[in-house]
Amino acid sequence: MKRHALFLGILAFSQPLLAADLLQTYREARANDPVYASARASRDAGRENLPQGLALLLPTVSASGFTQMNDIDITFRGVAPPSQREGNTNGYSLSLTQPLFNWQSIMLYKEAGFKVAQAEAAFGQAAQDLVVRVAQAFFDVLASQDSLAFIQAQKTAISEQLAQAKRNFEVGTATITDTHEAQARFDLATSQEIAAQSDLEIRQRALQQIIGKFPDRLTPLRPSTELSPPKPNAMEQWVSSAENQNFAVRIQEAALEIATREVERSRAGHYPSLNLVGNVGKNSASISTIGTTSLGTDSTSRNIGLQLAIPLYAGGGVNSLVRQAIANQEKARQDLETARRSAALSARQAYLGVTNGMAQVRALEQALVSSQSALDSNKLGYEVGVRINIDVLNAQQQLFSTKRDLSKARYDTLLNGLKLKAASGTLTEEDLGAVNRLLGTD
């Protein structure tokens, strides 16, 4: 039994680790990213504004009690000798205050609702930012891996060309120049390989910062992936959606509403307030004179009434607060306009990034076919003596540069598709799942 378990353990350990896909990476980020966790805590804190605002309109009840020992010396001038009295006094009271009219509290309660909406919008933006950040870091790693693979393949091709140049020189069919040119390209490719390895390490560490662990293997994009245009395929529809649904716009809309209520709350400094106040209490006291019988009293009090407060003069502070609130309201209005314009610009940029990216991908796919044909022709020409070594090296470099550019264009187009939905305020995990289905091997 133990041998069987040991065999299964060795077998499981020997199996290759499954590559993490985009959706799995996102879920790890959602569980481990400190920026997202901070936004979630901020949202939870913001939600508490509503019960705090409601508390200003609800009654407050307080209770108090006391007990004390009394030791009293009483002297009656010219009448009797001094006497000493002692005893205990204790009591309790219960008070209730119910606001009937307080415009400042009413405005604070209305502000609280918009503060909660603002906190929810801020968290929604953080959730969308997490999707974009994960996709950006994920595709950056894949792009760096592709770049490194292309450079290594180019280095291998150059090494073969270098070996062929050396053989041709030895047999006298080529000059030493061909060897030097191939050696220079090989050395350059070695330098680029080192830089690509460093870049890949940096990209992986950037993704690690989001998901909390080092990404060992990631699922690549299928080479035969067909990119789809945005739906709807109309820029102005996306812009209109961004101007109304973008989370940054929602945050500023809530800020404007809060600033508007703040103006009313500041003006309420001139308004009276009315409270219903009730009290009930009981006191018990006992005082005895040394050598005599003790005397005690018990009393119970109950009262209820209205308490009206009318502000008369506050040194001009209320008027100053009103002017300040009006200025802040105008600032919030302009910030809202800025947010709408920024959202519209982001939507246009992302839309063009998708549509132009798709056109660039198609062009690069055609360029890849042409570059491969050019390389094959130059190799054949070099073998028959109508092309020189530098022509083959240039064709090789052109082919691998085209492969690198095509890979990056695909990742950028997919990322711009997510950014477009984020700008319009409609990006969800399902959109990430749609992109995730494009990953894998053919």
Rounded to an integer, the average pLDDT of 365-389 is 88
pLDDT, position 299 = 87
Residue among 110, 108, 116 nearest 44 (CA):
116
Per-residue pLDDT tens over the stretch 180-234: 888 998 999 999 999 999 999 999 999 999 999 999 889 999 888 888 899 989 9
Percent of the chain beyond pLDDT 90?
A: 68
d(CA 148, CA 195) in angstroms, rounded, equals 9
- Between these two residues, 84 and 291, which has the higher pLDDT value? 84
Rounded to an integer, the average pLDDT of 256-261 is 96
Rounded to 10 deg, the angle between the 34-47 and 22-32 helix axes is 60
pLDDT, position 334 = 97
All domains of the chain in start order, with CATH: 19-69+102-272+320-436 (1.20.1600.10)
Confidence class for position 17, pLDDT limits 50, 70, 90 = low
DSSP H or E run through 164: helix 103-171
DSSP, collapsed to helix, strand or coil, labels residue 213 as coil
pLDDT, position 320 = 95
For residue 155, pLDDT over 80 is answered with yes
- Between these two residues, 80 and 125, which has the higher pLDDT value? 125
- Between these two residues, 14 and 312, which has the higher pLDDT value? 312
Per-residue pLDDT tens over the stretch 325-343: 999 999 999 999 999 999 9
DSSP 270: G
Q: Which residues contact 140 (CB under 8 A, 6 or more apart)?
A: 203, 206, 207, 411
- Between these two residues, 381 and 173, which has the higher pLDDT value? 381
d(CA 414, CA 57) in angstroms, rounded, equals 51
Confidence class for position 176, pLDDT limits 50, 70, 90 = confident
pLDDT, position 9 = 44
Rounded to an integer, the average pLDDT of 336-362 is 96
d(CA 34, CA 208) in angstroms, rounded, equals 12
Q: Which residues contact 154 (CB under 8 A, 6 or more apart)?
A: 189, 396, 397, 400
Per-residue pLDDT tens over the stretch 30-88: 999 999 999 999 999 999 999 999 999 999 999 999 888 877 766 666 655 666 667 78
The lowest-confidence range among 126-140, 164-178, 299-313, 393-407 is 164-178
Percent of the chain beyond pLDDT 70?
A: 90
d(CA 41, CA 383) in angstroms, rounded, equals 68
